[in-house]
């Protein structure tokens, strides 16, 4: 083998090995889930505290945390987070527009002076929040946190 061929072969081997090592090197910057999983871990306590406030009020209190998690979410979770945030926002806005406290609201005995349009808006938002699409979105977000981040989110 000529010296030129040997030098060329050595250069090719070095380049291939260098490229392979570079591709195998793992850092948080290369892991699309690292920032999200870190955020999930960091926000788990405040999410649990917010959700402890009850079904309706807890989700509304958790909304800012949901938004922070959605910002860090990998691309494959964006649709699920969008559904979760949209549905909780609809409920929050329906209560705010009606000037009704979600913590004390009883759908079986709504305030007597609450206009029918406001009752209907609250009910429609609640139905969308309880829809199969929303349940699947919550399940997808929870599953990802459990499987990829190894951190359970109790949604």
* 3 shares its domain with 57: no
* 47 shares its domain with 16: no
CA distance 154 to 50: 11
End-to-end CA distance of the chain: 66
Assigned domain for 152 exists: no
CA distance 149 to 33: 8
Tokens describing residue 127: 């139905």
* 57 shares its domain with 103: yes
Contact 128, 87 (CB under 8 A): yes
The residue range of the domain holding 13 is 1-27
Question: Using one digit for the tens of pLDDT, what is the confidence trace for 102-146?
Answer: 999 999 999 999 999 999 999 999 999 999 999 999 999 999 999
pLDDT band of 1, cuts 50, 70, 90: low
Domain count, the chain: 2
Looking at residues 62-69, what average pLDDT do you find? 95
For the entire predicted model, the pTM comes to: 0.77
CA distance 15 to 75: 32
* 12 shares its domain with 66: no
Report pLDDT for 152. 87
* 90 shares its domain with 18: no
Q: Which range has highest mean pLDDT (3-7, 49-53, 85-89)?
A: 85-89
């Amino acid at each position: 083998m000529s010296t030129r061929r040997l030098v060329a072969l050595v250069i090719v081997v070095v380049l291939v090995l260098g490229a392979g090592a570079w591709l195998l090197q793992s850092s948080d910057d290369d892991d699309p889930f690292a920032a999200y999983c870190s955020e999930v871990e960091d926000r788990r306590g405040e999410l649990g505290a917010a959700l402890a406030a009850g079904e309706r009020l807890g989700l509304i209190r958790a909304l800012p945390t949901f938004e922070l998690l959605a910002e860090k979410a990998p691309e494959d979770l964006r649709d699920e987070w969008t559904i979760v945030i949209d549905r909780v926002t609809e409920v929050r806005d329906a209560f705010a527009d009606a000037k009704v406290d979600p913590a004390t609201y009883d759908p079986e005995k709504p305030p007597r002076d609450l206009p029918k349009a406001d009752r209907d808006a609250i009910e429609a938002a609640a139905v969308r929040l309880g829809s199969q699409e929303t349940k699947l979105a919550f399940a997808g977000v929870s599953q990802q946190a459990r499987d990829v981040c190894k951190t359970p989110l109790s949604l």
